[in-house]
A and B are shown apart, each in its own frame.
Chain A
């Protein structure tokens, strides 16, 4: 019964996405929102990785922007400085980020709770400083310009409109992969780990290995998003990979709902629109607003916007049906 509702909700999201894709060609939409939609897509990629990590293995990462940045800089440096094919550069970046995540998962997952959060925070800061200080490669605080567009055969992704489809195609693929993982045996194992790690181990689940795999997967997602990000902007600088970016991903994951794959879109969209359209007025105070959002969502919608809205709708309908039934 529950599975049925969940399945229907997933279909609703897919239909919604298709609608958005079909809406895109309209000129007014294109003119106003394509860039925003691209950013929402990129943020969704980051968020869904973190949702898997936080919602299904119960681990926190406050340094996720670092992986986003590593992918971005790999793509930028390889494709601009060394003239590597952008797709290849993207692949190399993803592989390198995955390998990096694999190596650091050994020391980092010995920690738990707040200590793990602190360690990932530190990691994010270190990587951010490296982006800024390794000026010979990264262009330092000024960044790098003139990064080539992605192209396939003779087709160049040179307009936001084309990149919109590229980003959302890849984003949808990542969401479906995540959905598959969550629904499969591995997903049950992940939920079991979240339920009780000791009991999960006692039935034969290698919890350390599962956490590591999800960590690597989320890092690879972030890296791919980073690569698309630089090929979209054709510029890379350290600023989008700092602490605030990591916090924003966490806020998006929480708002969307930690244990829901499709919620990632909602979280990413809500926070992105808020930060682009509203919070500019607040200037430096936006961090406070994110904190407030985090608190409010945690208290009133602990399962996130997606599940929260769904349940709210169910409750409303139930009330409506009851009223109908009254004589």
Chain B
């Protein structure tokens, strides 16, 4: 279970998060809804450790995440897919994926063997790789290809696959559908639902609030660095203000 308690983040003088509290239960998909600049990405950045907290606390199960940089939180089970994919363009698809398990191999006993240890690979890495290739058959086809030459949708799959390679307990997804064609957006969302079915916990930011609420269990609405509304997906879906502001629909 991910628990954020009164998290405060400030960039210089501008406060981006004002005492935000939220909970993501194990096995849930929770979505964050809000306009640009509401603080959604900042919240994910704070959880993964990209930006430091000015106040408050973040816990994942029994581990305290607040104060840890992101190369440490990934070892505690935070899988972060940053906005804009950020794949390693000059490396092959396969290398991108194996880099995803970097944290695993780093704490592996094979580490002193260096390159040889890397070649042997641990069983976790192998089974993760199989799982990712099973989820994204296209990545298996393109495993020798340079990641930068993949299409936008494939790059997004690679970014998610890379995060899955670290065997995360929770997956933080920042706008996975950004810049993708509508049918690809549907594919990605369907895939997120499938990941949950396999036991993963997911915190999702998604521009298309209606589509996100369809697969999410619960949602939080953010405005100007605060959480202003929370509820189950159905409740939010029926809420008039949410419908007007984020779902683009007038009163039913």
Residues from chain B with Cβ under 8 Å of A198 in the complex: 50, 70, 82, 86
The answer, among B69, B89, B103, for a CB contact under 8 Å with A203, is B103
B90 at the interface (CB under 8 A from A): yes
Contact A185/B82 with A201-B50, A201-B69, A202-B70 known, Cβ cut-off 8 Å: no
The answer, among A184, A192, A200, A204, for a CB contact under 8 Å with B166, is A204
Is the pair B163, A202 in contact by a Cβ cutoff of 8 Å? yes
> In the assembly, what is the distance between CA of A205 and CA of B86, in Å?
14
> In the assembly, what is the distance between CA of A183 and CA of B165, in Å?
21
Measured CB to CB, the closest approach of chain B to A197, in angstroms, equals 9
> In the assembly, what is the distance between CA of A38 and CA of B88, in Å?
39
Mask of A161-197 contacts with B, CB within 8 angstroms, 1/0: 0000000000000000000000111001101101110
A206 at the interface (CB under 8 A from B): yes
Residues from chain A with Cβ under 8 Å of B81 in the complex: 202
B109 at the interface (CB under 8 A from A): no
Contact A192/B71 with A199-B82, A203-B100, A203-B102 known, Cβ cut-off 8 Å: no
Closest residue of A by beta carbon distance from B98: A188
Residues from chain A with Cβ under 8 Å of B237 in the complex: none
Contact A188/B91 with A199-B86, A202-B80, A207-B71 known, Cβ cut-off 8 Å: yes
The answer, among A185, A194, A196, A202, for a CB contact under 8 Å with B48, is A202
Within 8 A of B (CB), among A224-256: none
B175 at the interface (CB under 8 A from A): no
Closest residue of B by beta carbon distance from A180: B115
Is the pair A195, B166 in contact by a Cβ cutoff of 8 Å? no
Closest residue of B by beta carbon distance from A194: B90
Closest residue of A by beta carbon distance from B147: A195
The answer, among B75, B114, B163, for a CB contact under 8 Å with A184, is B114
Q: How many residues of B contact A (CB 8 A)?
A: 34
Is the pair B115, A199 in contact by a Cβ cutoff of 8 Å? no
Is the pair B87, A199 in contact by a Cβ cutoff of 8 Å? yes
Within 8 A of A (CB), among B20-59: 48-50
Is the pair A204, B102 in contact by a Cβ cutoff of 8 Å? yes
Measured CB to CB, the closest approach of chain A to B73, in angstroms, equals 9
The answer, among A201, A202, A204, A207, for a CB contact under 8 Å with B106, is A204
Residues from chain A with Cβ under 8 Å of B86 in the complex: 195-196, 198-199
Closest residue of A by beta carbon distance from B79: A202
Measured CB to CB, the closest approach of chain A to B198, in angstroms, equals 21
Q: How many residues of A contact B (CB 8 A)?
A: 20
Mask of B98-128 contacts with A, CB within 8 angstroms, 1/0: 1111110110000000110010000000000
> In the assembly, what is the distance between CA of A207 and CA of B101, in Å?
16
B5 at the interface (CB under 8 A from A): no
Residues from chain A with Cβ under 8 Å of B71 in the complex: 201-202, 204-207
Contact A201/B70 with A185-B105, A185-B114, A185-B115 known, Cβ cut-off 8 Å: yes
The answer, among B88, B101, B103, B163, for a CB contact under 8 Å with A195, is B88
> In the assembly, what is the distance between CA of A206 and CA of B68, in Å?
12
Is the pair A202, B118 in contact by a Cβ cutoff of 8 Å? no
Residues from chain A with Cβ under 8 Å of B101 in the complex: 203
Closest residue of B by beta carbon distance from A199: B86
The answer, among B50, B102, B165, for a CB contact under 8 Å with A189, is B102
Closest residue of A by beta carbon distance from B163: A202
B226 at the interface (CB under 8 A from A): no
> In the assembly, what is the distance between CA of A202 and CA of B91, in Å?
17
Measured CB to CB, the closest approach of chain A to B97, in angstroms, equals 10
Within 8 A of B (CB), among A86-133: none
Closest residue of A by beta carbon distance from B89: A195
Residues from chain A with Cβ under 8 Å of B19 in the complex: none
Residues from chain A with Cβ under 8 Å of B159 in the complex: 199
Closest residue of A by beta carbon distance from B162: A203
Closest residue of B by beta carbon distance from A195: B88
Closest residue of A by beta carbon distance from B48: A202
Measured CB to CB, the closest approach of chain A to B183, in angstroms, equals 26
- Known contacts A184-B115, A195-B87; 9 additional CB pairs below 8 A are A185-B105, A192-B88, A192-B99, A195-B90, A198-B70, A199-B162, A200-B88, A203-B100, A205-B71
Q: Which 4 A-B residue pairs are closest in the complex by CB-CB distance?
A: A204-B103, A195-B88, A199-B86, A196-B86
| Residues of A in contact with B (beta carbons under 8 Å apart) | 183-185, 188-189, 191-192, 194-196, 198-207
| Residues of B in contact with A (beta carbons under 8 Å apart) | 48-50, 69-71, 74-75, 80-82, 86-91, 95, 98-103, 105-106, 114-115, 118, 159, 162-163, 165-166
25 A-B interface contacts by CB (under 8 A): A183-B115, A184-B115, A185-B102, A185-B105, A185-B118, A188-B95, A189-B102, A191-B90, A191-B91, A196-B86, A198-B70, A198-B82, A199-B86, A199-B159, A201-B71, A202-B50, A202-B70, A202-B71, A202-B163, A203-B74, A203-B103, A203-B165, A204-B74, A205-B71, A205-B102
